Amino acid sequence: MIFDFFGVLTSNMVEVITWFEDRERIARGTFLRAWADPRGQDLFRRLELGQISQEDWNSGFATLMGVKPDNLLGRYLHDAFPAYPVLRVAREARAAGIRTAVLSNSLGRQPYDPYTGFDLHGTFDVVVLSAEHGVRKPEPAAFRIVLENLDVRATECLFVDDSEENLAAAQKLGFTPVHGLDEDLVARQLRKLLHLPGL
Protein backbone atom coordinates (compact mmCIF):
# COMPACT_ATOMS: atom_id res chain seq x y z
CA MET A 1 0.00 0.00 0.00
CA ILE A 2 1.58 3.26 -1.18
CA PHE A 3 0.51 6.70 0.01
CA ASP A 4 0.98 10.20 -1.29
CA PHE A 5 1.88 12.57 1.55
CA PHE A 6 0.34 16.02 1.05
CA GLY A 7 -3.45 15.81 1.09
CA VAL A 8 -3.54 12.10 1.96
CA LEU A 9 -1.50 11.76 5.13
CA THR A 10 -2.23 15.42 5.90
CA SER A 11 -5.31 17.61 5.93
CA ASN A 12 -7.07 18.17 2.60
CA MET A 13 -4.90 20.60 0.64
CA VAL A 14 -7.82 22.66 -0.65
CA GLU A 15 -8.67 23.43 2.98
CA VAL A 16 -5.00 24.08 3.82
CA ILE A 17 -4.81 26.61 1.00
CA THR A 18 -8.07 28.29 2.04
CA TRP A 19 -6.90 28.64 5.65
CA PHE A 20 -3.57 30.03 4.41
CA GLU A 21 -5.30 32.68 2.28
CA ASP A 22 -7.57 33.68 5.15
CA ARG A 23 -4.62 34.05 7.54
CA GLU A 24 -2.71 36.10 4.97
CA ARG A 25 -5.81 38.21 4.30
CA ILE A 26 -5.58 37.69 0.57
CA ALA A 27 -8.41 36.86 -1.82
CA ARG A 28 -9.40 33.23 -2.03
CA GLY A 29 -8.11 31.71 -5.24
CA THR A 30 -4.86 33.71 -5.14
CA PHE A 31 -2.73 30.64 -4.39
CA LEU A 32 -4.31 28.44 -7.06
CA ARG A 33 -3.97 31.18 -9.69
CA ALA A 34 -0.25 31.41 -8.90
CA TRP A 35 -0.01 27.60 -8.94
CA ALA A 36 -1.71 27.43 -12.36
CA ASP A 37 0.61 30.10 -13.79
CA PRO A 38 3.38 28.46 -15.89
CA ARG A 39 5.92 30.21 -13.67
CA GLY A 40 4.28 28.75 -10.57
CA GLN A 41 4.17 25.29 -12.13
CA ASP A 42 7.87 25.56 -12.93
CA LEU A 43 8.71 26.66 -9.39
CA PHE A 44 6.89 23.66 -7.92
CA ARG A 45 8.45 21.25 -10.41
CA ARG A 46 11.97 22.47 -9.73
CA LEU A 47 11.45 22.43 -5.95
CA GLU A 48 10.02 18.89 -6.09
CA LEU A 49 13.04 17.75 -8.11
CA GLY A 50 15.48 19.37 -5.68
CA GLN A 51 16.72 21.81 -8.32
CA ILE A 52 15.98 24.93 -6.27
CA SER A 53 15.92 25.69 -2.55
CA GLN A 54 12.89 26.51 -0.44
CA GLU A 55 14.19 30.08 -0.28
CA ASP A 56 14.15 30.25 -4.09
CA TRP A 57 10.59 28.92 -4.14
CA ASN A 58 9.51 31.30 -1.37
CA SER A 59 10.85 34.29 -3.29
CA GLY A 60 9.44 33.30 -6.67
CA PHE A 61 6.02 32.19 -5.50
CA ALA A 62 5.62 35.15 -3.16
CA THR A 63 6.14 37.44 -6.16
CA LEU A 64 3.36 35.65 -8.07
CA MET A 65 0.96 36.01 -5.12
CA GLY A 66 2.01 39.48 -3.99
CA VAL A 67 2.89 38.43 -0.43
CA LYS A 68 6.04 38.48 1.72
CA PRO A 69 8.50 35.65 0.99
CA ASP A 70 9.61 35.04 4.60
CA ASN A 71 9.04 31.31 5.34
CA LEU A 72 6.27 31.23 2.74
CA LEU A 73 6.30 27.43 2.51
CA GLY A 74 5.90 27.12 6.26
CA ARG A 75 3.08 29.66 6.26
CA TYR A 76 1.35 27.86 3.38
CA LEU A 77 1.58 24.44 5.06
CA HIS A 78 0.82 25.68 8.58
CA ASP A 79 -2.44 23.70 8.78
CA ALA A 80 -1.29 20.53 6.98
CA PHE A 81 -2.03 18.47 10.09
CA PRO A 82 -1.69 14.67 10.23
CA ALA A 83 -4.63 12.72 8.80
CA TYR A 84 -4.84 10.43 11.83
CA PRO A 85 -7.49 8.01 10.49
CA VAL A 86 -5.35 7.25 7.41
CA LEU A 87 -2.13 7.00 9.41
CA ARG A 88 -3.87 4.58 11.79
CA VAL A 89 -4.88 2.34 8.88
CA ALA A 90 -1.30 2.45 7.56
CA ARG A 91 0.06 1.31 10.92
CA GLU A 92 -2.53 -1.45 11.25
CA ALA A 93 -1.90 -2.66 7.71
CA ARG A 94 1.82 -2.82 8.37
CA ALA A 95 1.21 -4.71 11.63
CA ALA A 96 -0.89 -7.17 9.63
CA GLY A 97 2.07 -7.85 7.33
CA ILE A 98 1.19 -5.50 4.46
CA ARG A 99 4.17 -3.57 3.09
CA THR A 100 3.60 0.19 3.21
CA ALA A 101 5.31 3.18 1.62
CA VAL A 102 5.14 6.92 1.08
CA LEU A 103 5.76 8.35 -2.40
CA SER A 104 5.81 12.12 -2.11
CA ASN A 105 6.53 14.96 -4.49
CA SER A 106 8.55 16.65 -1.79
CA LEU A 107 8.95 20.35 -1.07
CA GLY A 108 12.37 20.25 0.54
CA ARG A 109 13.26 19.89 4.21
CA GLN A 110 15.31 23.05 4.89
CA PRO A 111 14.68 25.40 6.53
CA TYR A 112 11.05 24.23 6.91
CA ASP A 113 10.50 20.47 7.21
CA PRO A 114 6.87 19.55 6.44
CA TYR A 115 7.49 15.95 7.54
CA THR A 116 8.40 16.83 11.14
CA GLY A 117 6.16 15.05 13.60
CA PHE A 118 4.99 12.35 11.20
CA ASP A 119 7.67 9.70 11.99
CA LEU A 120 7.43 8.45 8.41
CA HIS A 121 10.39 6.08 8.70
CA GLY A 122 8.95 4.60 11.88
CA THR A 123 5.48 4.18 10.38
CA PHE A 124 6.23 3.01 6.81
CA ASP A 125 8.56 0.39 5.35
CA VAL A 126 9.75 2.70 2.56
CA VAL A 127 9.78 6.49 2.13
CA VAL A 128 10.54 7.94 -1.32
CA LEU A 129 10.80 11.74 -1.58
CA SER A 130 11.10 13.16 -5.08
CA ALA A 131 13.89 15.63 -4.34
CA GLU A 132 16.12 12.83 -3.05
CA HIS A 133 15.80 10.91 -6.34
CA GLY A 134 15.46 13.68 -8.92
CA VAL A 135 12.19 12.28 -10.25
CA ARG A 136 8.58 13.12 -9.43
CA LYS A 137 5.07 11.83 -9.96
CA PRO A 138 3.45 11.27 -12.41
CA GLU A 139 6.67 10.09 -14.09
CA PRO A 140 6.72 6.26 -14.26
CA ALA A 141 10.28 6.23 -12.87
CA ALA A 142 9.02 7.60 -9.53
CA PHE A 143 6.62 4.68 -9.16
CA ARG A 144 9.30 2.19 -10.17
CA ILE A 145 11.63 3.43 -7.42
CA VAL A 146 9.09 2.72 -4.70
CA LEU A 147 8.22 -0.68 -6.23
CA GLU A 148 11.89 -1.66 -6.30
CA ASN A 149 12.33 -0.61 -2.68
CA LEU A 150 9.25 -2.56 -1.60
CA ASP A 151 10.20 -5.50 -3.84
CA VAL A 152 6.64 -5.87 -5.15
CA ARG A 153 4.80 -5.55 -8.47
CA ALA A 154 2.43 -2.69 -9.25
CA THR A 155 -0.45 -5.15 -9.64
CA GLU A 156 0.00 -6.07 -5.97
CA CYS A 157 -0.36 -2.47 -4.76
CA LEU A 158 -2.96 0.04 -3.75
CA PHE A 159 -1.91 3.61 -4.52
CA VAL A 160 -3.58 6.45 -2.60
CA ASP A 161 -3.28 10.01 -3.92
CA ASP A 162 -5.37 13.18 -4.07
CA SER A 163 -4.24 13.96 -7.64
CA GLU A 164 -6.23 12.46 -10.49
CA GLU A 165 -3.21 12.87 -12.78
CA ASN A 166 -1.03 10.79 -10.45
CA LEU A 167 -3.76 8.18 -10.01
CA ALA A 168 -4.18 7.81 -13.78
CA ALA A 169 -0.41 7.37 -14.21
CA ALA A 170 -0.34 4.75 -11.46
CA GLN A 171 -3.30 2.87 -12.92
CA LYS A 172 -1.55 2.66 -16.30
CA LEU A 173 1.33 0.91 -14.53
CA GLY A 174 -1.00 -1.61 -12.91
CA PHE A 175 -1.67 -0.10 -9.48
CA THR A 176 -5.15 -0.14 -7.95
CA PRO A 177 -5.90 3.58 -7.48
CA VAL A 178 -7.67 5.06 -4.45
CA HIS A 179 -8.67 8.72 -4.63
CA GLY A 180 -7.73 10.24 -1.28
CA LEU A 181 -9.64 13.45 -0.59
CA ASP A 182 -11.51 12.84 2.68
CA GLU A 183 -9.45 11.16 5.40
CA ASP A 184 -12.36 9.40 7.11
CA LEU A 185 -13.77 8.12 3.83
CA VAL A 186 -10.33 6.95 2.66
CA ALA A 187 -9.71 5.16 5.95
CA ARG A 188 -13.01 3.28 5.65
CA GLN A 189 -12.34 2.42 2.01
CA LEU A 190 -8.87 1.09 2.78
CA ARG A 191 -10.14 -1.00 5.67
CA LYS A 192 -12.67 -2.59 3.32
CA LEU A 193 -10.14 -3.21 0.55
CA LEU A 194 -7.59 -4.70 2.96
CA HIS A 195 -10.13 -6.58 5.09
CA LEU A 196 -8.96 -4.79 8.21
CA PRO A 197 -11.34 -4.63 11.20
CA GLY A 198 -13.28 -1.43 11.63
CA LEU A 199 -13.03 0.72 14.75
pLDDT tens for 116-135 read: 989 999 999 999 999 999 99
80: left (phi over 0), alpha (psi -120 to 50) or beta: beta
pLDDT over 90, % of the chain: 98
pLDDT tens for 37-94 read: 999 999 999 999 999 999 999 999 999 999 999 999 999 999 999 999 999 999 999 9
CA torsion 183→189→191→197, rounded to 10°?
100
Q: Which helix (H) or strand (E) holds 61?
A: helix 54-65
Given a cut of 70, is residue 199 above it in pLDDT? no
- Characterize 144-167 residue by residue with b for buried, 16 or more Cβ atoms within 10 angstroms of its Cβ, and e for exposed: ebbbeebebebeebbbbbbbeebb
Question: What are the residues whose beta carbons fall under 8 Å from the beta carbon of 151, sequence distance 6 or more?
Answer: none
